[in-house]
Structure 1
């Protein structure tokens, strides 16, 4: 059964372009509207699976129309389609409960990806669970080998649910995107000092210098891994937040909100713990 889409835009040309792009990709365009007065009636009659919604329209704009439609049907799936795209408009769209946001001029491939992922909300998450750890392992291996000139082999952790005790220095990188998550990198002070010396080509001058190296190395690994995943599918929309570093007392590493996949990287300088986890997203922005 084909997915039914209703198009709302005050521009006849935009409605035509969006409708043709949808039809050419196998979607059924069941209605077109250009005013709030027609929106609810047409939606009730056509029963679309998704509504594409322009923002800048005379009278009631796309935000007001989206609010009214969500009041009529709280389960309505709406994709904002607009030339405007900034933090303010995105924040308002998320507050209303819009499912996706595509910028004009509309690229058919992008629109199809957004619709596909909205109608199959777990697909991106499942891809990240399948690819995530291996991609972060690849990024860690490439960059530690390149920067510290040490070979790396990985050892799987048999009991992934068992708590892991920090070796001394833990860095946590938040991951933002369609499915948010985190990367955890942990190693001993001794390993960190050896890696810092290999990278700097001299002994570190202070503990602060070692900690700064660990933080930046984790940031590089996470950023490159996210870029690698985004290249495979830009719908992931992954980016990293600034690292948080913990050191000193031995502690148990846990992640209460995200299930972490784990691996151990063995190097000439000691072992590095790598943990990567994601949680399901709900809004897709392109």
Structure 2
């Protein structure tokens, strides 16, 4: 079974770079620029790993932590990675408490992000 990665990132250049990198590593990938787009994909696809930006700038959008809460509630088998440039130890602790599987700081090396996603997809 192929692994499916959902990238939730509101900056197209970052989404494209991540999507291209993971596709070359054998992942099926879709990107969402907002939580509503992500939810639509989650409803129609079995997502193996979700990578979400902590701070989504879409007006009225919830952040990556609230998205993780929803994923844990409705799609508990989906593994989650928060990627952020604005993380603090307190935010990371909150993320861990709500069930985020990995918390990485931008600019995380692509190889590190792939290693984490690969490990999460294997169980």
Q: Which has the higher strand share?
A: 1
Please say if residues 55 and 82 of structure 1, whose CA atoms lie closer than 8 Å, have aligned partners that are also in contact.
yes
What is aligned with 1:11? 11
Structure 1 moving runs of 4+ over 3 Å: none
- The size of the alignment, in residue pairs, is 120
Residue 32 of structure 1: how far off its partner (Å) = 1.3
| Aligned mate of 2:99, from 97, 100, 110 | 97
Please say if residues 18 and 106 of structure 1, whose CA atoms lie closer than 8 Å, have aligned partners that are also in contact.
no
Q: Distance in 2 between matches of 1:105 and 1:19?
A: 16
What is aligned with 1:113? 115
Q: Is the radius of gyration larger for structure 1 or structure 2?
A: 1
Q: Are 1:21 and 2:21 an aligned pair?
A: yes
Q: Distance in 1 between matches of 2:40 and 2:118?
A: 26
1:135-154 matched pairs, under 5 angstroms: none
Q: Are 1:69 and 2:71 an aligned pair?
A: yes
What is aligned with 2:2? 2
Please say if residues 54 and 62 of structure 1, whose CA atoms lie closer than 8 Å, have aligned partners that are also in contact.
yes
Output the TM-score relative to the length of structure 1: 0.40
Q: Distance in 2 between matches of 1:63 and 1:80?
A: 8
Q: Distance in 2 between matches of 1:81 and 1:19?
A: 14
Deviations 1:129-148 (A, max 9, x none): xxxxxxxxxxxxxxxxxxxx
Instruction: Give unpaired runs (5+ residues) of structure 1.
Output: 122-286
Please say if residues 81 and 102 of structure 2, whose CA atoms lie closer than 8 Å, have aligned partners that are also in contact.
yes
Please say if residues 81 and 104 of structure 1, whose CA atoms lie closer than 8 Å, have aligned partners that are also in contact.
yes
Structure with bigger RCO (C-alpha 8 Å, 6+ apart)? 2
Instruction: Give unpaired runs (5+ residues) of structure 2.
Output: none
Residue 98 of structure 1: how far off its partner (Å) = 0.8
Output the TM-score relative to the length of structure 2: 0.87
